[in-house]
Amino acid sequence: MDVKTIKLKKTILEDNDKDADLLREQLLDDGTFYINIMSSPGSGKTTTLVSTINRLAEATELAGVRPLEIGVMEADIDSDVDAHTIIEKTGASSVQLHTGGMCHLDADMSRQGLREIDSENLDLVFLENVGNLVCPAEFDTGAAENVVILSVPEGDDKPLKYPLMFTEADAVIVNKIDAMPAFDFDKDRFRENLKTCNEDAPVFFISAATGEGIDQWCAWILDEMDAWRQE
């Protein structure tokens, strides 16, 4: 008698992909641009978001246009430290999402978080995904853009070690460039390593602590939002 084998992971991923597409359609109708930020722990996701949100506020003020209504969903296995940091340092809306031990967010988890943060009234929502370079890349969250943050201390070889994460990236941020003199990190070597799995993603070299490179990253966000609105 033959044994029937069911590939559960494949089924789960296919179901999630369909759900993610539905969520993207809903967010487009609502006018909410959703960016999924992925990285390993300690790369500076929260600090980057703080710098980004504050710089976007400055940019819209200088341009004399309506400030963006921004929200942040902080996903973690436990704690609510990051959500408090966002609220205290930017004034943006923020909710903490506890994953119950899961190392990623999927589309339905995103939908629950977006509902809690009242995304229908927001122009831009960032998801700070659970910190690791493996699981989050496997699950489509329904975001319009996937962004990977790598910090200089992690090394320039990470696209070779975690190719799926960097393959899924629409943009890559290299953070903590102010620490580059202390580490063996080569920008050109990183670009070449990235090209082995992703030739299209733009790379932004920044220091979230000093603000270097944040302007270029924010300009990319605004350009992507404009293009998305035309879809």
pLDDT of amino acid 82: 87
The full 3-state SS of the chain, as one line of letters, equals CCCCCCCHHHHHHHHHHHHHHHHHHHHHHHCCEEEEEEECCCCCHHHHHHHHHHHHHHHHHHHCCCCCCEEEEEEECCCCHHHHHHHHHHCCEEEEEECCCCCCCCHHHHHHHHHHCCHHHCCEEEEECCCCCCHHHHCCCCCCEEEEEEEHHHCCCHHHHCHHHHHCCCEEEEECHHHHHHCCCCHHHHHHHHHCCCCCCCEEECCCCCCCCHHHHHHHHHHHHHHHHCC
pLDDT of amino acid 103: 83
Global pTM reads 0.93
Per-residue pLDDT of the chain (231 residues; tens, 9 = 90+): 666 555 555 767 889 999 999 999 999 999 999 999 999 999 999 999 999 999 999 999 988 989 999 999 999 866 678 899 999 999 999 999 988 778 889 999 999 999 999 999 999 999 999 999 999 999 999 999 999 999 999 999 999 999 999 999 999 999 999 999 999 999 999 999 999 999 999 999 999 999 999 999 999 999 999 999 998
- Asked if 164 and 118 count as a contact pair (C-beta separation under 8 A), the reply is no
pLDDT of amino acid 7: 56
State the burial class of residue 128 (Cβ atoms within 10 Å of its Cβ: 0-12, 13-18, 19+).
buried
Structural tokens at position 16: 């999630």
Interaxial angle between packed helices 45-63 and 81-90, expressed in degrees from 0 to 180 and rounded to the nearest 10? 20
